[in-house]
Amino acid sequence: MQEIPINTLNGLRYGPGHFDRAAQEALVEDIRTIVAEAPLFRPVMPGTGKPFSVRMTNCGLLGWVADKAGYRYQPLHPVTGKPWPEIPERLKDLWRAVAPDAPPPEACLINFYEPGAKLGLHQDRDEKTFDAPVVSVSLGDTATFRVGGLNRKDPTRSFRLQSGDVVVLGGEARLIFHGVDRILKDTSTLLKSGGRINLTLRRVTPA
Ligand code: SIN
Ligand code: FE2
């Protein structure tokens, strides 16, 4: 993992090609099993009700949802009413490897980006603790990932995330603004119909 300096903050780490092709394929299989049980849903912005361009689901004890009432973590899928499937062992291994001092992850948000989808600049701050990092895995088409500082107006820079890459937002960089500007079409053969999957592992409650 390499440290990416961002606005003098430490803790943004990047692991290019952390997962090889075989591991990426195995992860996609894991995700297919999860999505069969916990289908993708399209969140909407609290208040305005404007739909996200990204579809989502989760695994873990808690899942992140967004609806007219707000952003939150909850133990049940908003459509099926069932508990979220378990976090795959492969992702728990990743967490142990990159966040050895953190308690186990409680949530894994699964974002699916079709070509054209994006995610505006935001902070991950719906958790009740910020001690543990947020650990992200990219699969499928390359994304332009934008990172800034702790204030929305801070300067930002962007870099490309390819299939198999891992990013850790930890330490001073745990609460940096970040987002996905765009998905670069046809840049990966991992997903048959194209697009990008991003997985983010999170600790939600204090240990
Ligand atoms: C997120 O911030 O939830 C996802 C980031 C990404 O898709 O790389
Ligand atoms: Fe995020």
For a pocket test of ligand 1, which of 108, 119, 124 has the largest count of ligand atoms closer than 8 A to its C-beta? 119
Ramachandran angles phi, psi of 102, nearest 5°: -90, 150
In short, whether 163's Cβ falls inside 6 Å of ligand 1 is no
For residue 152, give the DSSP letter. T
Closest CA to 108 of 140, 66, 62: 62
* pLDDT at res. 125: 97
* pLDDT at res. 124: 98
What residues have their beta carbon closer than 5 A to ion ligand 2?
124
* pLDDT at res. 82: 98
Structure-block tokens of residue 151: 């204030």
What are the chain's domains? Answer: 2-202 (2.60.120.590)
In short, whether 136's Cβ falls inside 6 Å of ligand 1 is yes
Beta strands per DSSP E along 25-113: 55-60, 63-67, 70-74, 107-113
Distance CA 61, CA 67 (A): 19
What is the separation, in whole angstroms, between the first and last Cα of the chain?
Answer: 25
Distance CA 124, CA 69 (A): 18
Q: Which residue has the tokens 């603790």?
A: 129
Non-local CB neighbours of 138 within 8 Å, separated by 6+ positions? 161, 162, 163, 164, 165, 166, 167, 196, 197, 198
In short, whether 24's Cβ falls inside 6 Å of ligand 1 is no
Binding region for 2-oxoglutarate: 111-113, 196-202
* pLDDT at res. 59: 98
Contact 171, 95 (CB under 8 A): no
* pLDDT at res. 139: 98
Residue nearest to atom 4 of ligand 1 (CA): 198
User: What residues in the chain have per-residue pLDDT under 50?
Assistant: none
pLDDT in tens, 108-147: 999 999 999 999 999 999 999 999 999 999 999 999 999 9
The pTM assigned to this predicted structure is 0.97
* pLDDT at res. 108: 98
